[in-house]
Structure 1
Amino acid sequence: MRIGNVYRPVVFGCRADERLSEVARRMVEKKVGALAVLEGDQVTGIITERDLVAAMALFIDPASVNAAACAPTEVKTAGLEEDSREVARRMLDAGIRHLPVEQDGRMVGMVSMRDLLALETWAS
């Protein structure tokens, strides 16, 4: 099945200069495990729950640290037409649980391992 049938077509993101306390608050509010770090509609990083936990361990005051300091900047993406199994394999190989979905160079949503697992469960 193609990613366009699986992904969540909504963009939850933050700016690179936003404080981690705001990033964490938004994740809780939106009930998501990752936010795209955005510059306009371009993804410049991804910040995840794991990144927030690491920041808590490294910084005395996470409220004084911004998203850019903790978000990996090497961003892998998926296209709407890609096969879900290939995307799942790529995510497993990279050790990541969230992948931005792009169309024509701009982010249009996110796919998570949970989304892909649900697909496999429903397809069985």
Structure 2
Amino acid sequence: MLISNVYRPMVFGCQADDRLPEVARRMVEKEVGALAVLDGEKVGGIITERDLVEALAAAADPASQEAAAYTSTQIRTAALHEDSGEVARRMLEAGIRHLPVDDRGRLVGMVSMRDLLALETWAL
């Protein structure tokens, strides 16, 4: 199945200078495990639940930390026309659970391992 049939066609984000408690609140509010980190209107990276856990473990005062300090900037993406099985393999190999979805250079949503697992489960 194509990623275009699986991904969540919404982009939830935060600003690079948002403090981590605000990032966590936004994840809870939107019921997502990752946010696009925006630098103005440009996507500068992605921050995940794992990044928040790392901040809690590493920072003396995680509440004072900005999202940019824990943002993954090496962004990998999935394209709308890609096969979901291939995208799942890439995510497993890279050890990531969330992947931004790109349509001709424009961020259009996010796909998660949970989305791909649900697809696999429903296909049975």
Calculate the TM-score normalised by the size of structure 2: 0.96
Whole-angstrom CA distance in 1 between matches of 2:82 and 2:41: 21
Is the contact between residue 100 and residue 110 of structure 1 (CA under 8 Å) also seen in structure 2? yes
Q: What amino acid is the match of 2:29? A: E
Give the aligned partner of residue 116 of structure 2. 116
How many residue pairs get matched?
124
Cα drift, residue 104 of structure 1: 1.9
Structure 2 unaligned regions, length at least 5: none
Is the contact between residue 37 and residue 67 of structure 1 (CA under 8 Å) also seen in structure 2? yes
Cα drift, residue 40 of structure 1: 4.8
Is the contact between residue 42 and residue 106 of structure 1 (CA under 8 Å) also seen in structure 2? no
- Range 3-12 or range 53-62, more displaced: 53-62
Give the aligned partner of residue 69 of structure 1. 69
> How many percent identity over aligned positions?
73
Cα drift, residue 47 of structure 1: 0.6
Structure 1 unaligned regions, length at least 5: none
Describe the superposition over 1:55-78 as per-residue Cα deviations: whole angstroms up to 9, x where unpaired.
011112112111110011101000
Give the aligned partner of residue 16 of structure 1. 16
Calculate the TM-score normalised by the size of structure 1: 0.96
Distance 1:42 1:84, change over 3 A: farther
Whole-angstrom CA distance in 2 between matches of 1:30 and 1:16: 18
Counting only pairs closer than 5 Å after superposition, residues 29-108 of structure 1 correspond to structure 2 as 29-108=29-108
Whole-angstrom CA distance in 2 between matches of 1:118 and 1:52: 25
